[in-house]
Structure 1
């Protein structure tokens, strides 16, 4: 007998709270139906992990100006076979910001399925991005790596109301403010 993946239960708990989000069931199906859903070699798509990286006071979020995409986004990246996506989110937050003393809060914070355009040898594919709240408990001085053009702390309230905010960032800002 195969035990269900812990992420399946996390998706169920997330669905109980955010039942109005359409992609929840697509995430559960992807986990159940795809042989290697955590590997980027699964060319149709794969899971990624991201961090809603908030300041210790919860008022600001650290975003990166993504070098390849030219947009302000939360830190995150490929699971590379790791099926603990909260660990992936923490690893990516540390690597992409240089921050230490980070804490991942339990439970999925947000889900976002988005299409990645073809680039070079890589075909267009889906990212099933599972997002966790990561809190900066220590110093907030960051160091950008090669994946970003810049990093900056942004007031969450501004992201929730600014008309030019990326749709998924706005959704997370609104969720954060409603907690």
Structure 2
């Protein structure tokens, strides 16, 4: 996670997430779910279309809300590799392009499994895809949808997702 050390953000809450994620990585040998059920690294992707005016969100069955695509990092897998794998598994997209030169955002959120809370340190990458490419909905999802960035607050009020939309608007 060397790229995390060089990552900069102007968002105060995200700055705190970056510091906490670096601290977690530096103080733990076990960073993935299989070895650390209480806290672990996850990887997400913020997928935008070629015009940079839409993002691809998934309506997650278990969480019953619209979120970005992502999941847990597997053993011997980088966060980036997990992001690519999760994109293919959850959307069917294979023709994706990394935008920028690495991490797009860092977030920390609580997960719940078997009635126990645990912490996710989420590394988010920005990918671009053709919105006309065929999508395949995974069994973890109710729906996949390209959503206009300007309409994102109709689907979610999650601070992290709204921040991703704001960052996308700044790219245009």
Same fold, TM exceeding 0.5?
Answer: yes
Provide the residue aligned with 1:176 in structure 2.
168
The structural deviation recorded for 1:41 is 3.1
Provide the residue aligned with 2:148 in structure 1.
155
Aligned mate of 1:18, from 3, 10, 20: 10
Note closer, same or farther for the CA distance 1:107–1:75 as it changes in structure 2 (3 Å cut): same
Structure 1: segments with no counterpart, 5+ residues: 1-6
Provide the residue aligned with 1:95 in structure 2.
89
Provide the residue aligned with 1:67 in structure 2.
61
Provide the residue aligned with 1:140 in structure 2.
133
The Cα offsets for residues 86-116 of structure 1, whole Å up to 9 and x where unpaired, read as: 1111110111001121112321111110011
Q: Tell me which moved more, 19-28 or 135-144.
A: 135-144
Kept after mapping to 1: 8 A contact 2:31/2:41? yes
Provide the residue aligned with 1:116 in structure 2.
111
Q: Select the structure that is richer in strand.
A: 2
Aligned mate of 1:77, from 54, 71, 79: 71
Kept after mapping to 1: 8 A contact 2:93/2:133? yes
Kept after mapping to 1: 8 A contact 2:4/2:22? yes
The structural deviation recorded for 1:165 is 2.8
Taking the TM superposition and a 5 Å limit, the aligned residue runs for 1:27-46 are 27-46=21-40
Structure showing greater relative contact order (alpha-carbon pairs closer than 8 Å, 6 or more residues apart): 2
TM-score, normalised on structure 2? 0.88
The structural deviation recorded for 1:83 is 4.3
d(CA) in 1 for partners of 2:38, 2:135 = 34
Kept after mapping to 2: 8 A contact 1:49/1:129? yes
TM-score, normalised on structure 1? 0.85
Structure 2: segments with no counterpart, 5+ residues: none
The structural deviation recorded for 1:36 is 1.3
d(CA) in 2 for partners of 1:171, 1:162 = 15
d(CA) in 2 for partners of 1:51, 1:75 = 5
The Cα offsets for residues 125-175 of structure 1, whole Å up to 9 and x where unpaired, read as: 10111000011148432110101011110011222x559532211010001
